[in-house]
Structure 1
Amino acid sequence: MTSLLTLDNLAMAQSTFRNVSSASLQPMPSRARSLVIIDTSLDDYQTLVEGVIPGHEVYLLEAHQCGITQITQILREQMGIASLHIFSHGRSGTLQLGSSALNLDNLLAHAAQLQVWRSALAEKAEILLYGCEVAQGKLGKAFVDTLSQLTGADIAASANLTGNAAKGGDWVLEFQTGSIESSLALTQAARDIYTEILPLPRVTVAAGTTPAEIGTTGTFTITLDSPAPVGGLTVNFTPSGTATNPADYSFSAGSNITSVSATSFVIAAGATTATLNVVPVNDGIVDPAETMILSLAAGNGYFLGSTVTAQFAAPSSPVPVGLNPDSVAIGDFKRRW
């Protein structure tokens, strides 16, 4: 459910947020109004809520639901909105909203929902996007320009990191599609004490320990360039190679991984590294050379980095079966006798 919070009931809302269904939202009078939407997947989003300048209406997005749908639900019964402020994670050309991403590739697919946004906005309305790097580069600027055309609003968006200065962030929305008159929705005090930044993490993978059938669990090391968000980060992957799961190996959770399946794992909130274990099956059979390849796949809430595929390196000089009583090389998986 979408949660509504106004500054008038902030004290009560700090402990319990009041849920508001679309049926309970009534049309608002046609007057200049300012809405602030804050994604609860942001680290320490409570500081942002508490720091909103009085006079703004504040809504919260549930982190594990489609944020595009939630915002559309919020705006469907609204009118006369002069400024819309959206605090969420971002990357160049992408706005992460709850469990969904709005980007240049899917803007037209969401045209009907964006028309609802447009209908709720006043003439000459403004949208301020606080997500990190949303307007960075040609891709980011094209995304913001297209969103402006579809919503009919002038848009200001960040072209670099947003948030804490010590982590490289600031509170300047560098790119604008028109003349922006709205001020930032946060007090200076809130901007000063907020310790986080608002980027989407970029994920890479590297091979670690090579597995052996007896006694050695293999590992892949997953690295994020910013911490996993509140609630954790689900990363998708595709296994390949001549070794197969579960006949030859299985996956298990290593450090900072809270759960794992055959095609995805969840990195714990706040973590920047994690370990995915590969547990070989000790079947007592001397196998031919086998490979195990892990390829990260696209998903919500993260970007793929420059290194998204890793595999366990085969021995450079495999030992033929029967010539060495101590070990038999079986490609990427080695069995000790």
Structure 2
Amino acid sequence: MQQEKYDKSSWRKKCFYFLTYMFVLILVSYCWFSVKGRSIHSHVAIFCNPQTNTSRLDHLKEYSLERMMYEKPNTMNPPRTDVLMMTPWFAPIVWEGSYNIDILNAQFHQRNVRVGITVFAIKKYTVFVQTFIETAEKFFMVGHKVNYYVFTDRPNDITNITLPEGRQLVLLEVPSYQRWQEVSMRRMEMIRDYSRQRFINEVDYLVCVDVDMKFSDDVGVEILSDVFGTLHPGFYRATRQQFTYERRKESTAYIPPDEGDFYYAGGYFGGKVEEVYKLTNFCHNEMMTDKNNHIEAVWHDESYLNKYFLYHKPTKILSPEYLWDNGFGVPAVLKRRRFVAVPKNHNAIRNRRALSEDRRTTLKFHS
């Protein structure tokens, strides 16, 4: 009797193990054939019936210029021979005479691009906003869609400005900081965060500039590129040794004396939103590394910007026409002054503790 019970129990166990094995085998076989079958089907579709495949390339839009009348380019007679117009990495340097704005406008209009321009109006710098926007409406991206993004801690101080259709003012309320240097460096963080959260969904390109400026001549789509920087008006003739790069090896913004292409201004850069995000993210992270090590780069966000552009070459560079101070006079190479500094009383705008730092800035800007 006991032997019979033992035999039945043993038989049940064997059946259980056998059924479990078969279940696992069937499951593995199904998964394998499912994956392999898709792979085979994919290959068969590619090689036997390519017409059934769809591709992003099938939906590309074709942009074609209409008939235009303009002077033929002359390969043996460049428009400018007095200035450098192309970098060694084939990035154009934008000077007056180097482009045809009608052709460029026609191209960008077809693409229906929207441009965002960012400024920081912190504390008393709100007084510059109205002049900035009023002059921009005359000269900046005329005929194109524009979003003015104004970062400010005092939104109530900014006068409501009526803008035409397709152009709008967006106030972004942000915290203030005790030191203007801190405000300057935090710009990278704020532009980065808003690029990720908002700008990427609203505009195609970003132009990041200082607010204490005014437009005085045309600035259009000729500046747009994947990522662009602007030659600093105080250093566009300078040698590497004269550039005020960060020279302390302890800083992440350090640039060796035997390196450097140009000295770029911190107050004018931009590009596609994705590229501006990369740039500002790099600069902010490097700043935070230095801050944790109790280091502050010599020219704050501008120092990190120059480090970025040294190893991530800009795809276009703007000449000093796009960032000028009339205190420099008008050199012969400067055919236009498109974006110029507004004369101001620094003592009235910044606090007293910043005055000594501001004098250093003035000296550097006018060197």
TM-score (norm 2): 0.25
Task: Write 1 or 2 for the structure with the bigger share of strand.
Answer: 1
- Larger radius of gyration, structure 1 or 2? 2
More helix, by proportion: 2
